[in-house]
């Protein structure tokens, strides 16, 4: 699943290539992922010009000169390709935008779980999940005080809260493991048992993890968009049985509710 560092890297990659580029042809190839009629999709996009690409939570927003926003929520298996038109299309290529600069922007989704929207700028709140998102994990509005206040509104296990977009937008399963490891907090702790000091550590760990993860992913994405996320540099996620980078104990890995959770029982008691 593309998470915040992956989407930030994609956003940076596309912002170096798309602004000012005209869309020559817009193809909606697999209708199930589109939340806009095919005729409208083509009529609005063809001849339109890309502006800046932004990210909000796990949504990518492509600004267009017409005032519309092409919005993609890639969900679990959505991926982007920026390639030459003659490159063979993958089986689940849902969208292909032929560009005036000779390249093609594609959206591929193996499980067809993602969603593609095309709305006016003032209609973003009509997109499902968009209006209910909490502040973005990188937003300057997410101060330590705001974080603590929002956290008190949620009950249950702390990892489940971290990945809840209503609490904070942009944190997924893999980076929730990394954030909790950095904070030294057991992922199945009840929120109500966290001390004020632990809440402060958790808040600081969000920025510290993304501070090293985003440039690492961006470096690997500077020349092309990968079809798989970079995860090999993560410290605990999917490293079950390996030594903890802090204490050397074996990392525990648990699968529950279709979610893999990796943590160190010694460092995250």
Q: 0.85 cut: is pTM over it? A: yes
Nearest to 57 by CA among 111, 123, 151, 124: 124
- The catalytically annotated residue of 3, 8, 104, 229 is 3
In a domain, 258, yes or no: yes
**pLDDT at residue 1, as a whole number:** 84
Q: Where does the chain have alpha helices with state H?
A: 4-15, 38-45, 144-151, 158-162, 173-183, 196-220
- Do both 87 and 167 map to the same domain? no
Print the domain residue range for 64: 4-126
Shared-domain flag, residues 154 and 94: no
Q: Has residue 15 been placed in a domain?
A: yes
pLDDT score recorded for residue 228:
85
**Where does a domain end: 126, 153, 179?**
126
Please say which residue of 126, 155, 177 terminates a domain: 126
In a domain, 188, yes or no: yes
* pLDDT of amino acid 227: 83
Identify whether 58 is a catalytic site residue.
yes
Instruction: Let me know if residue 162 belongs to a domain.
Output: yes
Q: Are residues 77 and 174 in the same domain?
A: no
Instruction: Give the active site residue among 90, 92, 189, 259.
Output: 259
Measured from the Cβ of residue 207, the count of other Cβ atoms closer than 10 Å reads 13
Domain count, the chain: 2
Q: In this predicted structure, what is the pLDDT of residue 25?
A: 98
Q: Cα(191)–Cα(193) distance, rounded to whole angstroms?
A: 5
Output the domain CATH number for residue 71. Answer: 3.20.190.10
Q: What separation in angstroms does the CA of 61 have from each of 68, 73, 184, 242?
A: 10, 9, 34, 38
Tell me how far apart the alpha carbons of residues 25 and 97 are, in angstroms, rounded to a whole number.
6
Same domain, 159 and 62: no
77 and 188 fall within a common domain: no
Instruction: Establish whether 3 is a catalytic residue.
Output: yes
Predicted pLDDT at 226: 86
Here the CATH number for the domain that contains residue 187 is: 1.10.8.50
Q: What is the pLDDT along the chain (269 residues), one digit of tens a residue?
A: 899 999 999 999 999 999 999 999 999 999 999 999 999 999 999 999 999 999 999 999 999 999 999 999 999 999 999 999 999 999 999 999 999 999 999 999 999 999 999 999 999 999 999 989 999 999 999 999 999 999 999 999 999 999 999 999 999 999 999 999 999 999 999 999 999 999 999 999 999 999 999 999 999 999 999 888 889 999 999 999 999 999 999 999 999 878 899 999 999 99
Catalytic residue, chosen from 58, 79, 106, 191, is 58
What is the pLDDT at residue 141? 95
């Amino acid at each position: 699943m593309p998470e915040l560092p992956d989407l930030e890297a994609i956003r940076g990659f596309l912002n170096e290539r798309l602004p000012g580029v005209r869309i020559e042809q817009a193809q909606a190839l697999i209708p199930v992922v589109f939340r806009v009629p095919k005729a409208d999709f083509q009529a609005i996009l063809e001849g339109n010009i890309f502006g800046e690409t932004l990210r909000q939570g796990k949504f990518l927003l492509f600004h267009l000169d017409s005032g519309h926003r092409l919005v993609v929520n890639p969900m679990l298996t959505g991926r982007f390709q920026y390639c030459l038109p003659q490159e063979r299309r993958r089986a689940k290529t849902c969208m292909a935008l032929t560009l005036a600069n000779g390249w093609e922007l594609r959206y591929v989704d193996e499980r067809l779980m993602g969603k593609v929207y095309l709305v006016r700028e003032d209609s973003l709140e009509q997109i499902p999940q968009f209006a209910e998102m909490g502040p973005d994990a990188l937003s300057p509005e997410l101060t330590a005080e705001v974080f603590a206040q929002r956290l008190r509104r949620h009950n249950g296990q702390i990892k489940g809260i971290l990945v809840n977009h209503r609490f904070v937008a942009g944190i997924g399963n893999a980076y929730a493991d990394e954030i909790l490891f950095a904070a030294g907090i057991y992922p199945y702790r009840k929120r109500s048992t966290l001390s004020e000091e632990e809440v402060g550590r958790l808040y600081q760990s969000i920025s510290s993890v993304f501070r090293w993860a985003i440039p690492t992913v961006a470096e690997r994405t500077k020349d092309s968009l990968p079809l798989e996320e970079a995860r090999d540099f993560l410290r605990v996620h999917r490293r079950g049985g390996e030594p903890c980078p802090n204490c050397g104990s074996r990392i525990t890995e648990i699968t529950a509710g279709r979610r893999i959770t990796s943590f160190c029982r010694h460092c995250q008691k």
